[in-house]
Amino acid sequence: MTLEAVRALLPGARSIAVLTGAGISAESGVPTFRGPGGLWRDFRPEDLATAEAFANDPRLVWEWYDWRRQKIAAAKPNLGHYALVTLEKRAPELTLITQNVDGLHPLAGSRNLLEIHGNLWRTRCLSCRKVRDSREAPLARIPPRCPCEGLLRPDVVWFGEPLPYDLLKRAIRCVEACDLMLVVGTSGLVQPAASMADAALDRGVPVVEINLDPTPLSGRASYVLQGKAGEILPKLL
In the list ligand BV8, Zn ion, none, the entry touching 26 (Cβ below 5 to 8 angstroms by class) is ligand BV8
Largest CA distance in the chain: 59
In the list Zn ion, ligand BV8, none, the entry touching 150 (Cβ below 5 to 8 angstroms by class) is Zn ion
Q: Indicate the residue type of 224.
A: V
> How many CA atoms, within 13 angstroms, populate the side-chain half-sphere of residue 108?
26
Burial (CB count within 10 angstroms: exposed 0-12, middle 13-18, buried 19+), residue 12: exposed
119: contact with ligand BV8 by CB under 6 A: no
Catalytic residue among 69, 81, 117, 153: 117
User: Starting at the edge strand that comes first in sequence, how are the strands of the sheet with 223-226 ordered?
Assistant: 113-115, 93-98, 15-20, 180-184, 207-211, 223-226
212: contact with Zn ion by CB under 5 A: no
Residue among 67 and 151 whose Cβ is closer to ligand BV8: 67
28: contact with ligand BV8 by CB under 6 A: no
Residue among 125 and 194 whose Cβ is closer to Zn ion: 125
What track of x and - describes contact with ligand BV8 for positions 41 through 80 (by CB under 6 A)? ----xx--x-------------------------------
Strand partners, 95: 17
Cα 67 from chain centroid?
18
- As a whole number of angstroms, the distance between CA 229 and CA 212 comes to 8
Active site residue 117: yes
What is the smallest separation between the CB atom of 201 and Zn ion, expressed in angstroms?
44
Strand partners, 182: 18, 208
97: contact with ligand BV8 by CB under 6 A: no
Active site members:
117
Residues that bind ligand BV8 (CB under 6 A): 21-23, 26-27, 32-35, 38, 45-46, 49, 99-101, 117, 156-162, 185-187, 189-191, 211-213, 215, 228-229
